[in-house]
Chains A and B, each alone.
Chain A
Amino acid sequence: MGVALLNLSLLIGLVAMLFPRASTWARIVALAGIKLGGVVLVTALLVHLANEALLSSAPALGPITNGLAPLPNVNLPQISGVQLSGEDFAAAVASATFRSLLLILVAIVWGVFVGLGAAYFVQLRGSNGALLSVIAVLAWVTPTFLLAAFAQEIQAQIFNFTDLRISGGYGTPSALQAFWAGIVLGIRPAAYAYRQARVSLESERAADHVLTARASGLPWRTIVNRHIVRPAAASLVSTWLSSFRLMLGSLPIVEFFFGYPGLGQQLVLALGVSYPDQVGVFQPDLVVAFVVSLAVIVVTCEALAQLARLRLDVRLADVSTVTA
């Protein structure tokens, strides 16, 4: 599959060279294909090597293994101890992907947009946003699972005082659980987005055209909207993309913590990490499937962000046309 994707993307790239007008789109698609093909190939290779390493370490140690237990005499992948057939396998990956997308959506809506929005409002108010910066630093240095533990503690305290069950149930995909997990998932990306967006906006604020706009007596809101945010839009999209990648990177840990059966949790379990009452089992096929599913989400978003950047920044679009 990886080789097929690589070939297809190279073909698209070659065709793009013949049709310069369509080349921006084609180049983006070709690049996405190359990335995805590479991810499939490398993941398959790493999974194969990891499985070999685990199998080679297991017999010598008997029941005591070095970290993980390899899968003994099992030909089909399994989730929660249940072996899956081909169709079940695809359905399991698809449903996990859907659940994770829901979680990501919540995290994007609250996390990244709050981060970018806060940077915008700080710029609009003309303040230095010291308090928000401190909060962002604290959120940034706190490991995600610690944030999740705080969220769980809040749930527990609310239950203690009001008898309301607001956690959404452990290990079951529900709207409330997606809400809590999404909130936690979005915290560090929000902090990252806020800090990076502040840097971009401050850098744009120092530009000559902003000084000219201020000297000509334009209202500050107009200056921010038209002369600071608009030129910085492309770099804000890049910031959004980076925080999105960070979010996907943290997805396994958040889903594992909340027992939310999405891509991240299933990937972690397939890697052999287990809950205290379970035995970790390394499942090569599932690892490849889940990593590739996550990579598809990342690569698709990257392609969309690249298109958005070209739309938002005329300078980038010009460079792209010239290059083509």
Chain B
Amino acid sequence: MRRPAFLSRYLLATIGVAILLAYGILIAIGLAEPSQWSTGVYAGGLVHGTTHVELPPFPVMANLDVFDMDARSSGSHLYLLGSDPGGRDLLALIARGSLPSLILVALVVVTRAFVGTIAGVLMGLGSGVVRLLSRGIGDWMVGFPYLALAILLIDVLTPRGRVLAFVVAMSLIGWRDMAEVVAERIEYVRSQPFAVGAAALGTGGLRFFQIHVVPHLRPAFIVEVVLQCSAVLVVLAELGYLQVYLGPVIRLTQPGANSIPLLTQPELGQLLANSRMYLLYRELAPFLVPALAIAVLALGFELIGTALKGRWRFARP
């Protein structure tokens, strides 16, 4: 028996909101932890109440009496999500890293929405040449491999500021989807009999857009914005894995020797930058926890977007 569609939608939306709320609570717990657990480096820890020594990375749910490089006690701590190879609490790192990452995601989505809306309006309402040009630019952009384009743009723009570089690069590789949605909605409205009637009555330009296009555009726009949050998070993770991340990057490079990135302000992408090393040494927690954090966050946005999409079924032009 088929489950009524609205029940599925509510279920999806509820799960999506629950995921985001749970993530928010996790961030709050992580932020409440003293900063020493996200900045200090620890050599090991004794399992609380025993003499068993654990070396970092500490496992999930490890309750340890931690000591530093000079074997001085640094206090007792519960590592809810385990630690990285420096003994830093992954929960605290993710909590502190989520804020700059989420701010970046918000900035990118807003920029994508802004550029996409302008391009979409040009595609949908512009004259023949303007439409051809704006569509052509959009089609042309997808000829680039998106990760390579993003890395190049970030390299070019980094001297003007790392955040700006990321926002511009990640917006440029993804505005087309938004523009397509806007253009499709405008074309749909323009193909409707009421639009022909409105044009016959002399309603045109901005007023036509305001009265007839905006009410049809709004739902699709909201859905796309939510889905874009998920897409941007995944790109952020992939860039992080390729060692391109937001934080202030200091890398010690000496020809013929290992390249050692120095972690400064944590950020979700940055936490993934050493993934290859962690995998090589079978240290799964420092790799899996930030990767799953991003995937879960993206899932939350995706479920809400899918539920909203089902709520507003969009007719096609």
Contacts and interface: CB of A to CB of B under 8 A. Distances in A.
- The B contact surface, by secondary structure, is helix
A180 interface: no
A249 B145 contact: yes
Interface of B: 2-3, 8, 136, 139-140, 142-149, 151-153, 155-156, 158-159, 230, 234, 237-238, 241-244, 249-259, 272, 274-277, 279-280, 287-288, 291-292, 294-295, 298-299, 302-303, 306, 316
A50 B151 CA distance: 10
Nearest to A54: B155
Q: Assign chain A's interface to a size class.
A: 35 or more
24 contacts: A31-B136, A50-B155, A50-B156, A53-B155, A137-B302, A137-B306, A138-B299, A141-B230, A141-B295, A141-B298, A146-B237, A146-B288, A245-B142, A248-B145, A249-B145, A250-B238, A252-B148, A252-B242, A267-B148, A271-B151, A273-B242, A276-B277, A279-B256, A298-B143
Contact of A39 (B144, B242, B243, B275): B144
Contact of B254 (A63, A128, A257, A277): A63
Chain A CB within 10 Å, residue with most, of B139, B148, B257, B316 = B148
B140 A146 contact: no
Given A141-B298, A253-B147, A66 B254 contact: no
Interface in A53-96: 53-54, 56-57, 63-69
Interface in A229-282: 245, 248-253, 256-257, 264, 267-268, 271-280, 282
Nearest to A61: B250
Interface of A: 31, 34-36, 38-39, 42-43, 46-47, 49-50, 53-54, 56-57, 63-69, 127-128, 130, 137-138, 140-146, 149, 152, 203, 245, 248-253, 256-257, 264, 267-268, 271-280, 282, 287, 290-291, 294-295, 298-299, 302
Contact of A251 (B145, B249, B279, B295): B145
Chain B CB within 10 Å, residue with most, of A54, A69, A271, A280 = A271
Chain A CB within 10 Å, residue with most, of B142, B143, B242, B303 = B143
Given A256-B242, A274-B259, A294-B145, A64 B251 contact: yes
B305 to A, nearest CB: 10
B242 A137 contact: no
Contact of A146 (B142, B256, B295): B295
A46 B140 contact: no
Contacts of B250: 64, 66
A143 B291 contact: yes
Nearest to A278: B259
A63 B253 contact: yes
A67 B162 CA distance: 11
Contacts of B275: 145, 149
Nearest to B305: A137
A140 B295 CA distance: 9
Nearest to A280: B259
Given A277-B258, A279-B255, A66 B158 contact: yes
Contacts of B230: 141
Given A273-B243, A274-B243, A278-B259, A252 B147 contact: yes
Nearest to B277: A276
A143 B145 contact: no
Chain A CB within 10 Å, residue with most, of B274, B277, B295 = B295
Contacts of B306: 137
A249 B259 contact: no
Nearest 9 pairs of A and B residues by beta carbon = A50-B155, A141-B298, A143-B237, A249-B146, A49-B156, A46-B152, A145-B241, A141-B299, A276-B277
B295 A271 contact: no
Nearest to B12: A137
B20 to A, nearest CB: 13
Given A63-B254, A137-B302, A143 B144 contact: no
Contacts of B147: 249-250, 252-253, 268
Given A253-B242, A271-B151, A280-B259, A291 B145 contact: yes
Contacts of A36: 143
Contacts of A203: 316
Contacts of B159: 53, 56-57
Given A141-B299, A143-B291, A295-B143, A67 B155 contact: yes
Given A67-B158, A130-B8, A146-B295, 12 more contacts: A46-B156, A47-B152, A66-B158, A145-B272, A145-B291, A149-B275, A245-B142, A250-B147, A257-B276, A267-B145, A274-B243, A279-B257
B175 to A, nearest CB: 15
A39 B144 CA distance: 7
Nearest to A47: B152
A252 B238 CA distance: 10
A50 B311 CA distance: 45
Given A64-B250, A66-B158, A152-B279, A143 B242 contact: no
A43 B303 CA distance: 36
